[in-house]
Amino acid sequence: MNKSLRIGRIEKQMRLIGKFTVVVAMAILLAGCSPTRNIDDAVILKAGRLTYTLGELNKRFSQTGFENEEDEFRQKKSYLEQQLDKMLLADGGLELGYGDSVVLDTAALSNLIGNIVFDREVASKVPDGTDDAEVRKFWNYYGGTIQISQIVTRDKSTCDSLYEILTAHPERFAELAAAFSIDSTTAAKGGDMGTIRVGTLIPEIEKKAFGLKPNQMTRPFETIYGWHIVKMIARNEFTEADFQAQINRYRNLYINKSRKLAQNALYDKLARKFNLHINQSGLKMLSAKLDSIQRAERQQNLTPRPFLKSADLNAEESAMPLGVTDVMTLTASDFLRHFETYRNEHGIDLTNQKMVMYVLSNKLAPILSIAYGRAEGIQNDPEYQRIIDDTRNAQVFRYMQAKIMAPVQVSDDEIRARYRSDSSRFIDDSSGKPVPMTLEQAWNIIQNEILQEKRAQARQNWIDERKRKVENYIDLELLRANLVTRKKKS
């Protein structure tokens, strides 16, 4: 049974939590066994004991847009050539026993569990966009551009009252938006949101807005920003020519929207499973704190800021629980630090429970994913062990790089010879006027230049020697026969 390289899956998984970024970038050595027989399991690249399948290659390029079949073939061929060299290095390192010296810490192993959860619950449910009928169905709903206006209120009762008025007097939409909408940007324009393309707004608003016909408006609906009424003014560019000209763009939008919906579904699932809820006492404390700061700033004739900083809290306030689950608690200080990172410039309405819950679920998702994975027994799953092996092999690749390049040195004579042969190339233009460098001035530049060249040559020499020792190949015929661009056209 062949061991197979699984770079695509690991790259997607590692991006979820943001840890092991370097490892993921190097993780081209992922081994595993596949019991099923289909075209995705076909080995397209082999380097000694390591193999890479067609399915994994397509996963690696699942979010890439190609101009045509030749562009796809060229990009994938180049990638496979790079992968072959890296896999040969890893295979050599495994033969030397470097895999035994790699140790993953507890946090790393926990993150792997969370990554598997994300892959199963989100990544595996996102379409690859190859089905043009599905892309057209998406375009039929979200195609072209729309001009819309909205009214946003903090509470349902206000929104319901405005809707009743608008039902009888639709011509008053701009007037009521200017008077009652809490979205200051659009309220100043009578609710006008301008021209919108799909992918611009949050999914809940887009689904409602694109489902309207000109001059229609929605019933009140809730999002994380409050209660909305949206009115369609006009729909433009909704033609077959638009679809044909931008099919690849709509394909990517279809994929991205599917991913966002699957991610939100996972976050909701985790929140329900672990009983995520807001500690109302903590939220009231934050709200009162913000009110106090804003009153003080008004008294000083300052424009009150719409947000709290973690530094505004004393030790007792900082430690107060805000987001509570069955497995962990997020403090008020933790919440604000997360908020400072992502939304500081706009602030957050602390009276908006839906928005607070949204921030909490996003912040806690990585940790709850790990808890969910453990509850599901993923740590006993063969896939978990395979990913551990994959990550270990990525480290082996790095060890081999260091081993091969470490002995490389540059002598003084080599530096002097490079300078004599090409001294006119070394120019100092820092003063605004080009001046030839002396040997002493160019010394470090030349040294680094030669060092990089010699390291690259040492690496290539080692790879060439490895190719003579072990079986290795790239199946370009298999690649050519299974181009995704061709499937999309059909």
Q: What is the pLDDT of residue 15?
A: 40
Between CA 113 and CA 389 the distance in angstroms is 14
Please, are residues 125 and 172 in contact by the beta-carbon 8 Å criterion? no
How far, in Å, are 195, 240, 247, 424 from residue 244 at the CA level? 21, 6, 5, 54
List, in sequence order, every beta strand (DSSP E) within 274-386. 277-278, 321-324, 329-331
Please, are residues 129 and 255 in contact by the beta-carbon 8 Å criterion? yes
Q: What is the pLDDT of residue 289?
A: 92
Number of other residues whose CB lies within 10 A of the CB of residue 353: 13
Q: What is the pLDDT of residue 486?
A: 66
What is residue 485's three-state secondary structure?
A: helix
Rg of the Cα trace of the chain?
A: 29
* Cα dihedral across residues 34, 38, 41, 43: positive or negative: positive
Report the run of H or E that residue 46 belongs to, with start and end: strand 43-47
Between CA 423 and CA 113 the distance in angstroms is 56
> Which amino acid does the sequence have at 36?
T
Token code pair at residue 165: 């008025």
Chain-centre distance for alpha carbon 121: 15
List, in sequence order, every beta strand (DSSP E) within 37-191. 43-47, 50-53, 145-153
Please, are residues 250 and 488 in contact by the beta-carbon 8 Å criterion? no
What is residue 98's three-state secondary structure?
A: helix
Q: What is the pLDDT of residue 27?
A: 39
Between CA 360 and CA 340 the distance in angstroms is 13
Chain-centre distance for alpha carbon 362: 13
Q: Which residues of the chain have pLDDT under 70?
A: 1-37, 339-347, 486-490
